Structure 1
């Protein structure tokens, strides 16, 4: 029986606007396509849930159009919410400008998710179960009110809860008083190459993943995601290894890191060894980038079909498990 993936972070609305190019300062440009979807930690929860792991959103969500959108999207993916809707404001949103070369530029306006309370973290602490995986994101830790509360919560967790930390792009802005207790309690850290460099000062992913693991408690492990090159894995107590990726024609990289994190944690929670979980996460991320749109992580059948003929399929699913 696998544990739940519980996200103590943010699920917000993503307003995506495709533009030929970014406007000059003070200028304007006409968008060619616009859409609004659930974003933030939503993609991580979905990636885990589609692989058969129970997923729970444990962050604040508001009352208004964005909160309604988030709850509907979570319900559609069979992800449950832990906290009741807040009546003092709406869920926040990110405006993502996607230029003609596919580069994304973001502006985020936080809502009630930026106003976590001690009562919220008390509810979360009381509802966590032995075997759960608690997912923390740098996006939540960087917020002035949320970060200290989440750091206190993390430091107080019993050993039966696995703490997973994704530093996110704003990791350099997380106060040391918040980051230190989180790292001290982290069991698995997953970062992309840039985040790993910011945390360690090292540009070589093999050296960075080792340095990251060395910042954690004994028995913890680290992953450095390397996009099409797969990832570097430093399992607990073992030498770092390169886990190859799966070549695909990438058409949309948005959410690939979230798909990797969600799949890796789901597979770890289901009892797979770290190398198998990392390889499965590489496959899930490759599947996701080959498809356009948000939350494109595969379910078990789709991932098994993607891996058809690869020995990894048997290690993950066994004979005939689709």
Structure 2
């Protein structure tokens, strides 16, 4: 299995459970507060590493306790952190409100927006087997990474979250695009006429629709009792990358990723819920 390179955000997640959401000016009580590592980039790196992937994380953290904890967490999963850099800003922070198994997330980017201009991205990407990207870091960094990956024929998996007005010329350079249903509707209408190898529309409990040159293929989800859906999409992306890197075709990789994503929702916490390979086999 080749090197999986993840370029993206590194956050700390602070979450709490609510019975209802507060109105403007209202204070309500939460319960079961937890502080855990997060960020879509770091989440996808951990998901891939827990499933046996050879993973390098490329990202930014602050010179603070949260940053030190985030780095230690990545190290604990045997992820290559050679290219995790520090900035004077605070480590990124995500505040998660969980309500009846669903979640709402507020992200303060912090160091994730403080990328230096002289990044050695070409050296990092040139020998990758697949590149994972999301939209929680400056677009200029993502775009540069995509152009380098195209130059070296490295497949690109791009999770367009949070969704933005991406140029169609940029999306044409992506190999695998993984929006959820809501994000898919916000992308350009002529997206499916672009040159992406496959658009994988994730539909939570309804599975995934694969849009490619053969048409539309539906891959069903695996029914589970959902406790916390935080990180399910990141688990899907990390697992999909591992499956591709191990030689599976797109449909087989989606099935494997669906299994991993389903299992991830049965535990609380984005990264804590991510399964290991033996759990999927079981």
TM-score (norm 1): 0.80
Give the corresponding residue for 1:303.
Answer: 280
Q: Separation in 2 of the partners of 1:40 and 1:112?
A: 12
Q: Separation in 2 of the partners of 1:9 and 1:78?
A: 18
Q: Name the larger-Rg structure.
A: 1
Q: Separation in 1 of the partners of 2:186 and 2:201?
A: 12
Give the corresponding residue for 1:282.
Answer: 258
Give yes or no for contact 1:155–1:181 (8 Å, CA) kept in 2: no
Give the corresponding residue for 2:156.
Answer: 163
How far did 1:52 drift? Answer: 1.4
1:147 to 114, 139, 145: 139
Alignment pair present for 1:245 and 2:221: yes
Secondary structure of residue in 2 paired with 1:83: strand
Classify 1:55/1:19 alpha carbon distance in 2 versus 1 (closer, same or farther; 3 Å): same
Alignment pair present for 1:215 and 2:204: no
Length, aligned pairs only: 279
Give yes or no for contact 2:168–2:191 (8 Å, CA) kept in 1: no
Secondary structure of residue in 2 paired with 1:60: strand
How far did 1:299 drift? Answer: 1.5
Q: Separation in 2 of the partners of 1:53 and 1:84?
A: 18
Give yes or no for contact 2:222–2:258 (8 Å, CA) kept in 1: yes
Secondary structure of residue in 1 paired with 2:59: coil
Classify 1:290/1:102 alpha carbon distance in 2 versus 1 (closer, same or farther; 3 Å): closer
Classify 1:290/1:153 alpha carbon distance in 2 versus 1 (closer, same or farther; 3 Å): closer
Q: Separation in 2 of the partners of 1:52 and 1:231?
A: 23
How far did 1:60 drift? Answer: 1.3
Give yes or no for contact 1:4–1:132 (8 Å, CA) kept in 2: yes
| Structure 2 unmatched ranges of 5 or more | none
For 1:54-69, list aligned pairs within 5 A: 54-69=54-69
Give the corresponding residue for 1:129.
Answer: 126
Structure with the bigger percentage of strand: 2
Q: Separation in 1 of the partners of 2:152 and 2:123?
A: 14
Q: Separation in 1 of the partners of 2:77 and 2:69?
A: 13
Classify 1:278/1:212 alpha carbon distance in 2 versus 1 (closer, same or farther; 3 Å): farther
Give yes or no for contact 1:189–1:223 (8 Å, CA) kept in 2: yes
Give yes or no for contact 1:95–1:107 (8 Å, CA) kept in 2: yes
Give the corresponding residue for 1:197.
Answer: 185
Cα RMSD (Å): 2.0
How far did 1:87 drift? Answer: 4.7
Q: Separation in 1 of the partners of 2:22 and 2:128?
A: 49
Give the corresponding residue for 1:230.
Answer: 207
Give the corresponding residue for 2:32.
Answer: 33
Per mean C-alpha deviation after superposition, the further-off stretch among 107-116 and 179-188 is 179-188
Q: Separation in 1 of the partners of 2:84 and 2:224?
A: 41
- Per-residue deviation, residues 64-83 of structure 1 (Å, max 9, x unmatched): 01111211111111112233
Give yes or no for contact 1:154–1:181 (8 Å, CA) kept in 2: no
How far did 1:304 drift? Answer: 0.5
Q: Separation in 1 of the partners of 2:103 and 2:193?
A: 33
How far did 1:193 drift? Answer: 0.8
Give yes or no for contact 2:61–2:87 (8 Å, CA) kept in 1: no
Give the corresponding residue for 2:175.
Answer: 187
Q: Specify which structure has the bigger relative contact order, considering alpha-carbon pairs within 8 angstroms and separated by 6 or more residues.
A: 2
Q: Separation in 2 of the partners of 1:124 and 1:257?
A: 25
Secondary structure of residue in 2 paired with 1:59: strand
How far did 1:160 drift? Answer: 2.8
Q: Separation in 2 of the partners of 1:239 and 1:84?
A: 39
Q: Separation in 1 of the partners of 2:147 and 2:169?
A: 6
Structure with the bigger percentage of helix: 1
Q: Separation in 2 of the partners of 1:153 and 1:45?
A: 17
